[in-house]
Each structure stands twice: as C-alpha cells, then as structure tokens.
Amino acid sequence: MITFIKKALTISLCFLVVFMTAAPIFAVENTTDYSTHWAKENIQTALDTGMATGYPDGSFKPDRAITRAEFVTMVNNKFKFIDTAEPTFSDVAADVWYAAFIDAAIAEGYITGYTDETVKPDASITRQEAAVIFNILNELTAISDTPDFTDAALIAEWGKDAIIAVSEKNIMIGYPDGSFRPDNQITRAEAILAITNSFNFSEMIVDETVAPVELGLAGNFVILSKTGISTIPNSSITGDIGVSPIVATGITGFSLTADATNVFSTSDQVIGKIYAATFSAPTPSNLTTAISNMETAYTDAAGRAADYTELHAGDISGKTLTPGVYKWGTGIVMNTDVTLEGDADDVWIFQIGEGITQANGVKIILKGGAQAKNIIWQAAQTVSIGTGSHFEGIVLTQTNITLGTGASINGRLLAQTAVTLDQSIVVGP
C-alpha cells in the first residue's frame, strides 16, 4: 500500500510514484514516432521545454505505458519541484538517474511509498492512480458525488472523488465512448497532457476568490428590461422596476399610477417604484446609465475565467454546486432541485452559452450562508423559470426572461429584451 499526501490530506492506495525507464533518457533528435500522433503538439512542447525527454534510440514512444519514475520526473520538471527528502526506499539506489526526482516528489508530499519501503519505480501507473496524484497536487474538491462515465462501476472507491474532481476541472477527461478506463495504464502522451493541464490549473487558481460582478445602477432594480415588462395579475414585486429605451407603454398588466412629479409611477403589485424612459428627469438619464451598467455586467460575467467547464453536460438537476465560475457552451436544465452551498461571501458565476430551463416546481436551494446577491446567472438566450418553481440569484440575459404561473425569485431579473411574469413573486436580494 502506498500513501500520497498533500499538506493535511492523506490518501492510501495501491500505487505510487512516476517517470522514465530504468535507462537514462536523452533529448529526442529527428524523432518520427509521434509526428502523426494526436498529442504531437503537446509532446513537442514538452520536449522543447525540458519537461520530457525521449529514449536513446531517438524515439518517444507516446503510446507506451509510463513508468512511475518517468511520471514523477515529468511532474517535477513541469512544476519545478527541486526540494529533496531523505531517500528511504530499498529499490531506489542513490546513483540511479531518477533518485533525485523521487526524493523531490516525497519532499513535495504527493507520494510516500509502499508499506514494504519500496516505490517500484519501473512499474506503470493507472489512470485512476494518476488522477489521485493530480487531485493532491491541485488540492481539489469534487462537486458531484457520481462519476459521469459509462464505466463508473469500475472506478475504485479510493479513486472515485479524485476522478470526479479532475474530470470536472478538465485535467483528465474520458474517451469518446464515454468511458474513463480507470485501470488502464496511462500512456506517456496522456501523462504529458494531464500534467500540463494540472500545472495550468494550479497557475490559474493562485487566487481562488471569485470577485463579485459589479451591477452599478442596474443593482437598484429588481427588474430591468430594454423592451418591456408584462404581468398577468396579480404578481408581487418587492423593489424598483424599470424599462429603457422602451417607453411606459412597454409596462403592461400593472395598472400604473403616475406620481405627481412624473419621475416614477406606482402599482398595487409593486412595493417600490416603477420607472420608464419617458418619465421626467432624472429618470431617463438614470435608466440609460442602468441599462449600460447591466450590459457591462453581462460582459464582465461572461468573460471570467472558468473553474468548471461543461459540467454534467449542462444538466445540473439534483446537483450541489460550490462557489466558482461555471461555463457551458450550451444551455442548462434543472429538472430537480439544485443546491448552492457556500459561505456568505462566496460568489457563483454561471456562464451559459444558450438559455436556462427550470422545470415546474423545481427549487434552487441555498445552504451554508450562501446569498442570492452573490449568484450571477449570465445567459445568452431565454431564461425560463417554470410554474411554481423558485429561483435564487441575479439573472443577466442577452434576451428574455419568463416566469411561469406562481414562480418566484429571490434576486434580480436584468434582461436585454423582455421580462414576462404570471402571478409571480419577485423579491430583491
């Protein structure tokens, strides 16, 4: 049994260290055995930067199973790990080429050894063993509790959380048939790509705090729209609403009553004020600024670096999501309740390439002190909140938002086209 440790994290498994064969290796000259390989660019970069080297015969052998000594050497070269620990393994001679690399891996805490005081440097490493190492190196926490692979049943319990976490971060991915193949030996080409991904991820999260998205004057509104707000009475809205550049006729179903100043109107369905571009100054100017701030906030949210990409292929039904930036090129669906769990200052940003579809009766649930004001849903297309459902957070959409009969939201509805309500409840965060 070998144990991998990162800071306070200790994992015991049957596996271990990693990189090169028992023979020393040299730079590859005139190599042709990877020129048509799917990873040729990654391999060439690894060779050019000194992360990896080839064999004395000038080959690289990209599809060969990587040894444990080879693997740790690549990791250490990429991460620039140079500290060493006192060698303790009976099968690692002091003068062997990989001795210093194994000592550095021990010093960094991502390997120890087997209980028989060996490290088995020439043995291969499986894909789930590699996943555990990357999980330790990047100090990851899995979002889901179920692997999204067709062969999930083959994943050992000790490797499950690590495989989920590295796949969520795109450090390691599955095969075109949807499998992960946890017990397969990881190849030299696969190792180069995964180590590079792991390093890039570690560089990206030097500061793990997600900064809030600033709303500017748009944050003064619980509903803000460019083309209109309509309701089937009676809805209940707590907070101010506004439209611009469309005029007050774009606000329908509210039975507006103009204030004597003509700066705003009121409605029995709104605990707050109603503003439109044709009302008296300073309303038109304020609305123009608020709309501009809304569009800027949309662009800001859409441009944040993603922590999670294409998670669960956009189906977050029943999932618990921790703070971070989530990105999908398609839409997302919620067919069962979704939980957002984090502290009061934590931030969630959801970047959605298409729309949001929340099924009837489905709820977004906040846990651990999470606050709706810190949750941004940036969607390029229609946001549809189903009949009787409950939504949490600030919606920034490039098109429209529709709430089904009796739907509710604790948050804001900020739309670059229309907002449609049907006996809905909207409460500002």
pLDDT tens per residue, range 199-218: 988 776 544 568 899 999 99
With 90 as the cut, is the pLDDT of residue 90 above it?
A: no
Query: Please, how many CA atoms are within 13 Å of residue 2, restricted to the half-sphere of its CB?
Result: 24
Among residues of the chain, what percentage have pLDDT more than 90?
Answer: 70
Least confident among 230-239, 300-309, 353-362, 402-411: 300-309
What is 108-120 written as a DSSP string?
HTS---BTTS---
The pTM for the full model equals 0.67
For residue 2, is pLDDT > 50? no
**pLDDT at position 383 over 70:** yes
| 15 against 263, higher pLDDT | 263
3-state secondary structure of 9: strand
81 shares its domain with 175: yes
pLDDT at 168: 87
Q: Is-contact 334 340, C-beta < 8 A?
A: no
Tell me which of 157, 181, 204 is where a domain ends.
204
- Residue 227 above 80 pLDDT? yes
> 287-307: buried (b, 16+ CB within 10 Å) or exposed (e) per residue?
beebbebbbebbebbbebebb
* 306 shares its domain with 402: yes
Q: Has residue 16 got a pLDDT over 70? A: no
Domain shared by 46 and 76, yes or no: yes
C-alpha to C-alpha distance for 121 and 71, rounded to whole angstroms:
9
Is the model's pLDDT at 14 over the cut of 60?
no
What token pair was written down for 374?
């810190």
Q: Is residue 247 within 8 Å of 281, Cβ to Cβ?
A: no
What is the dihedral sign for C-alpha 414, 415, 416, 421?
A: negative
According to the model, what pLDDT value does residue 141 have?
84
Tell me if 173 sits within 8 A of 165, measured CB to CB.
Answer: no
Give the residue from 184, 204, 224 where a domain finishes.
204
Task: Look at residue 185 and tell me whether its pLDDT is greater than 50.
Answer: yes
C-alpha 270, offset from chain centre: 37
Q: What length is written for the chain?
A: 429
Top-confidence residue, 147 or 284: 284
228 backbone dihedrals φ, ψ, rounded to 5°: 140, 155
User: pLDDT band at 152, cuts 50/70/90?
Assistant: very high
Q: Examine the pLDDT at 331 and tell me if it is beyond 70.
A: yes
What's the rounded mean pLDDT across residues 112-141? Answer: 90
| Average pLDDT along the chain | 89
* CA 121, 124, 126, 131 torsion-angle sign: positive
At 204 the pLDDT is: 65
Mean pLDDT over 127-145 rounds to 90
Closest C-alpha among 152, 159, 157 to residue 179? 152
Q: C-alpha dihedral over 95, 100, 103, 107, to 10 degrees?
A: 150
The reported pLDDT for the residue numbered 148 is 86
CB atoms within 10 A of CB 117: 11
Residue 143 pLDDT class (50, 70, 90 cuts) = confident
Q: Is it the case that residue 80 has pLDDT exceeding 80? A: yes
Mean pLDDT of 221-248: 97
163 plus 268 within the same structural domain? no
pLDDT in tens, 333-366: 999 999 999 999 999 999 999 999 999 999 999 9
| Together in a domain, 292 and 427 | yes
The total of other beta-carbon atoms located within 10 Å of residue 163's CB is: 27
Residue 112's pLDDT band (boundaries 50, 70, 90)?
Answer: confident
- For residues 311-326, give the mean pLDDT: 91
Listed in order, strand segments (DSSP E) in 130-226 are: 221-225
Q: What is the pLDDT of residue 32?
A: 72
- Res 4 pLDDT > 50: no
Q: Are residues 242 and 384 in the same domain?
A: yes
- The token pair at 182 is 């946890």
Our count of domains for the chain comes to 2
In this predicted structure, what is the pLDDT of residue 355?
98
Dihedral pair phi/psi, residue 287, rounded to 5°: -70, -40
What is the average per-residue pLDDT within 113-132? Answer: 90
The reply to whether 69 and 132 lie within a common domain is yes
Does 142 share its domain with 287?
no
- Asked if residue 1 has pLDDT above 50, the reply is no
- Do 237 and 381 reside in the same domain of the chain? yes
Residue keyed to tokens 């990587």: 66
Helices 99-108, 68-79: axis angle to 10 degrees equals 60
Reading the block at residue 192, the tokens are 């180069």
Please spell the DSSP secondary structure of 281-337, one letter per residue: TTHHHHHHHHHHHHHHHHHHHHHSPPSEESGGGGB-TT-EE-SEEEEESS-EEESS-
- Report residue 353: phi and psi, to 5°: -70, -20
Domain boundary among 170, 188, 204: 204
pLDDT of residue 31: 56
Q: Are residues 180 and 256 in the same domain?
A: no
Q: How far is CA 202 from CA 11, 41, 348, 397, in A?
A: 20, 21, 20, 31
Please report which confidence band the pLDDT of residue 82 belongs to, taking 50, 70 and 90 as the band edges.
Answer: confident
**Which contiguous run of DSSP H or E holds residue 349?**
strand 348-352
For residue 18, name the pLDDT band (cuts at 50, 70, 90): very low
The pLDDT of residue 5 = 36
Overall average pLDDT of the 291-314 stretch: 93
* Domain span holding position 317: 210-429
Q: Are residues 247 and 380 in the same domain?
A: yes
Please give the structure tokens belonging to residue 99.
């001795």
**More confident site: 394 or 18:** 394
Same-domain pairing of 250 and 234: yes
**At 325, is the pLDDT very low, low, confident or very high (cuts 50, 70, 90)?**
very high
